Amino acid sequence: MLLEGKNLGFRYDGNDWLFRNLDVTVHSGEIVGLVGPSGCGKTTLGQVLAGHQLPVEGVIALNGQALPRSGYHPVQLVFQHPERAVNPRWRMSRVLDEGGIPDPAFMDALGIQESWLQRTPSELSGGELQRICIARALGGNARFLIADEMTTMLDAITQAQIWHAVLEAAKARNLGLLVISHDQQLVERICDRRISFW
């Protein structure tokens, strides 16, 4: 499977172009890093590829076809702030339901505990909540994951545990990954290639 951004251009209303004439490809099974200076548009590009923002110019295609405008999206985005990605009133069991039926082995690998499932977001740590968001993103029929500074706010041990689980799942399910990160070591260690905005 191929996720493609063709001739992409984006600018926020009244602002300069963040990127233009940009072609991006991510194949299934591939791990691509996206790096560049702060404010250059990496998060915006991730949102465009995941369908959270429409490009101002260009198209996004999955195997040459337009992405679905409703229903489960095959390109899932996990970003740095899990508390902004969940309904503050929902218990974790309901949050996970949004992504389909989560794989118990993947939940275990992420270190998700049964007791968290009855809690609301304010009753979990940021790292615990982020694991739930990752399980939700990869719960259903995701084909691509865009990880936008996904573990930046976490300690090194938690980061390592989460990336180990995600990389194993990506390998087993032949997912394509786009890793947006300022952590050069992480990008060098896990990515097959990189797209640079520098």
Ligand X SMILES: Nc1ncnc2c1ncn2[C@@H]1O[C@H](COP(=O)(O)OP(=O)(O)OP(=O)(O)O)[C@@H](O)[C@H]1O
Q: Which stretch binds ligand X (CB under 6 A): 35-43, 96-104, 106-114, 171-179?
A: 35-43
Nearer to ligand X, 84 or 94 (CB): 84
- Classified as helix, coil or strand, 30 is coil
Contacts of 90 (CB under 8 A, 6+ apart): 120, 121
- Position 44 contacts ligand X (CB under 6 A): yes
The single-letter DSSP state of residue 123 is G
Q: Which stretch binds ligand X (CB under 6 A): 19-27, 42-50, 64-72, 112-120?
A: 42-50
Q: Which stretch binds ligand X (CB under 6 A): 37-45, 71-79, 83-91, 119-127?
A: 37-45
- Position 153 contacts ligand X (CB under 6 A): no
Structure tokens at 16: 């300069």
Least spacing, CB of residue 11 vs ligand X, in Å: 9
Residue 152: CB atoms within 10 Å:
16
What are the beta bridge partners of residue 27?
2
- Position 43 contacts ligand X (CB under 6 A): yes
Nearer to ligand X, 36 or 111 (CB): 36
Query: Which of 1, 40, 62, 67 forms a contact with ligand X (CB under 6 A)?
Result: 40
Query: Which of 12, 63, 87, 192 forms a contact with ligand X (CB under 6 A)?
Result: 12
Nearer to ligand X, 40 or 62 (CB): 40
- Classified as helix, coil or strand, 94 is helix
Q: With contact defined as beta carbons under 8 Å apart, do 151 and 163 qualify? A: yes
- Position 18 contacts ligand X (CB under 6 A): yes
Amino acid at position 104, single letter? P
- Position 136 contacts ligand X (CB under 6 A): no
Query: Which of 7, 21, 23, 39 forms a contact with ligand X (CB under 6 A)?
Result: 39
Size of the site for ligand X (CB under 6 A): 11
Specify whether the backbone of 21 is left (phi greater than 0), alpha (psi in -120 to 50) or beta. left
The single-letter DSSP state of residue 32 is E
Q: With contact defined as beta carbons under 8 Å apart, do 168 and 105 qualify? A: no
- Classified as helix, coil or strand, 127 is helix
- Position 42 contacts ligand X (CB under 6 A): yes
Q: What is the binding site for ligand X (CB under 6 A)?
A: 12, 15, 18, 36, 38-44
